[in-house]
């Protein structure tokens, strides 16, 4: 294949320090980028009121940051977990309302999950979680679920497992990936630990306060304004017919990187809590070791992005160096985007020191693509 002549801009364009972003972003999800990445492009390539889109929304980083910046938003993801994690952060309830609702939910004793979760939770915590699960299921079934319920669901989904007392579980893997039951048994044996009681109400209320601590009244207004017009889709990114032609000013996204992340395995417990079949999600997400198959899917994604992007609009498409740097996905992405009609403006490579989480994954500094931000910037002229 002919070597592409691509402009590259290398530097530290945004900080890697997660905590310098809004506290509202502190929802764990595997393979998500830092909020500073979408903000860099939102500030430069869109204006207040413009539509910002993410076809692979994940935990909602682009959507939440765009809303905080006064933009309108469109979210899409084949996993229904994405909307569960994203939409409630556009419609923030008052913390007092969350506390009052939690107190009103009957948390029964001696309830058990329909699967064995004894390796994760103290029996009393498990009973409270199952009570909450039943309450939320009932509210959704009779269509009485409101913004407070959705917020509680989002926080509970985020707090299912982790490695601190701020989670419902005993010490386990980082909260962006769930251990299997057998893995957790081995962790418990190795650490000589047993699940201790964690109050479901207390954990949810504490995390609610943490998430909303940076949200000022003006920012809350931006979120509420975005929520009024927000569109949440749960479909294939290649076919988003409910998005109008020539309507999106800016797309900021990061697609699945081949088979680097197993989204189904990482989220099986979150799916269980929300009554979602994680196997059905796995069938829809493009997780493949074949570069040809991946490129075929992304080529169709770019065709659809070109259709919905308005003239003068932009796409910031974050890719990475996979297979220990031997495959640079921007070299695959750019011809696909150009075939769809886009012009390649630049490839931004953000240099940074890795975070604690990267070290947990066993990744060395500047050695693996999931932690090297490489963004192909495209324009529709």
What are the backbone dihedrals phi and psi of residue 375, each rounded to the nearest 5 degrees, phi first?
-120, 120
Name the residue range of residue 152's domain.
95-211
Instruction: Identify whether 269 is part of a domain.
Output: no
State how many domains the chain has: 2
**SS3 assignment, position 376:** strand
- Same-domain pairing of 153 and 29: no
* pLDDT tens for the 381 residues of the chain, in order: 455 567 778 777 776 554 478 999 999 887 678 899 999 999 999 999 999 999 999 999 999 999 999 999 999 999 999 999 999 999 999 999 999 999 999 999 999 999 999 999 999 999 999 999 999 999 999 999 999 999 999 999 999 999 999 999 999 998 888 999 999 999 999 999 999 999 999 999 999 999 999 999 999 999 999 999 999 999 999 999 999 999 999 999 999 876 666 677 889 999 999 999 877 776 666 666 788 888 999 999 999 999 999 999 999 999 876 655 666 788 889 999 999 999 999 998 877 654 433 333 333 444 444 445 789 999 999
Q: Are 149 and 190 in contact (CB under 8 A)?
A: no
- Same-domain pairing of 101 and 158: yes
Instruction: Identify whether 90 is part of a domain.
Output: no
- Same-domain pairing of 204 and 324: no
- Same-domain pairing of 117 and 58: no
Instruction: Identify whether 270 is part of a domain.
Output: no
Tell me the C-alpha to C-alpha distance, in Å, between residue 294 and each of 22, 262, 368: 33, 15, 19
What pLDDT sits at residue 130? 98
Instruction: Identify whether 86 is part of a domain.
Output: no
- Same-domain pairing of 67 and 102: no
DSSP 241-289: TTSPTT-EEEEEE----TTS--HHHHTHHHHHHTT--HHHHHHHS---S
- List the end-to-end C-alpha distance of the chain, in Å, as a whole number: 27
Specify the CATH number for the domain of residue 344. Answer: 3.40.50.150
Instruction: Identify whether 60 is part of a domain.
Output: yes
How many Å apart are CA 366 and CA 130, to the nearest integer?
A: 43
- Same-domain pairing of 156 and 41: no
- Same-domain pairing of 106 and 161: yes
pTM for the model = 0.90
> Could you say which of 211, 241, 269 is where a domain stops?
211
> Could you say which of 211, 245, 263 is where a domain stops?
211
> Could you say which of 211, 244, 279 is where a domain stops?
211
- Same-domain pairing of 132 and 59: no
Write down the H helix ranges in the chain.
36-45, 61-68, 81-86, 95-104, 123-141, 147-158, 181-191, 200-212, 217-229, 263-266, 268-273, 278-284, 291-308, 329-340, 356-360
Instruction: Identify whether 268 is part of a domain.
Output: no
Q: Name the packing angle between helices 291-308 and 329-340 (round to 10°).
A: 40
- Same-domain pairing of 26 and 131: no
What six digits make up the tokens of 152? 């509680």
- Same-domain pairing of 238 and 367: yes
Instruction: Identify whether 370 is part of a domain.
Output: yes
Q: How many residues does the chain have?
A: 381
- Same-domain pairing of 320 and 238: yes
Instruction: Identify whether 309 is part of a domain.
Output: yes
- Same-domain pairing of 180 and 236: no
């Amino acid at each position: 294949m002919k070597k592409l002549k691509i402009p590259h801009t290398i530097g530290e364009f945004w900080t890697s320090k997660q905590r310098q972003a809004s506290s509202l972003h502190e929802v764990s999800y595997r393979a998500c980028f830092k909020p500073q990445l979408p903000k860099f492009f939102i500030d430069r390539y869109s204006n207040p009121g413009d539509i910002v889109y993410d076809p692979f929304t994940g935990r909602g980083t682009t959507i939440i940051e765009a809303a905080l910046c006064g933009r309108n938003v469109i979210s899409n993801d084949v996993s229904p977990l994405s909307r569960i994690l994203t939409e409630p952060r556009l419609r923030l309830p008052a913390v007092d309302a969350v506390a009052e609702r939690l107190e009103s939910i009957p948390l029964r004793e001696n309830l058990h999950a329909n699967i064995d979760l004894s390796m994760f939770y103290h029996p009393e915590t498990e009973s409270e979680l199952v009570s909450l699960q039943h309450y939320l299921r009932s509210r959704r079934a009779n269509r009485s679920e409101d913004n407070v319920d959705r917020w509680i669901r989002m926080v509970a989904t985020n707090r299912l497992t982790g490695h601190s007392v701020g989670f419902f579980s005993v010490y386990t893997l980082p909260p962006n990936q769930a251990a299997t039951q057998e893995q957790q048994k081995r962790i418990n044996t190795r650490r000589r630990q047993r699940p201790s009681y964690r109050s479901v109400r207390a954990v949810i209320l504490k995390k609610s306060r943490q998430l909303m601590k940076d949200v000022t009244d003006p920012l809350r207004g931006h979120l509420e304004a975005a929520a009024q017009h927000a569109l949440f889709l749960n479909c294939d990114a290649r076919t988003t017919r409910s998005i109008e032609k020539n309507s999106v000013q800016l797309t900021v996204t990061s697609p699945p990187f081949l088979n680097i992340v197993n989204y189904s395995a990482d989220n099986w417990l979150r799916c269980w809590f929300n009554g979602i079949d994680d196997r059905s999600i796995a069938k829809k997400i493009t997780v493949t070791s074949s570069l040809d198959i991946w490129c075929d899917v992304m080529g169709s994604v770019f065709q659809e992005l070109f259709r919905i992007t308005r003239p003068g609009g932009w796409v910031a498409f974050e890719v990475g160096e996979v297979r220990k740097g031997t495959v640079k996905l921007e070299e695959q992405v750019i011809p696909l985007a150009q075939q769809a009609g886009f012009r390649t403006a630049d490839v931004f490579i953000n240099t940074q020191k890795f975070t604690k989480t990267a070290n947990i994954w066993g990744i060395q500094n500047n050695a693996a693509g999931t932690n090297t931000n490489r963004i192909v910037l495209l324009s529709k002229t």
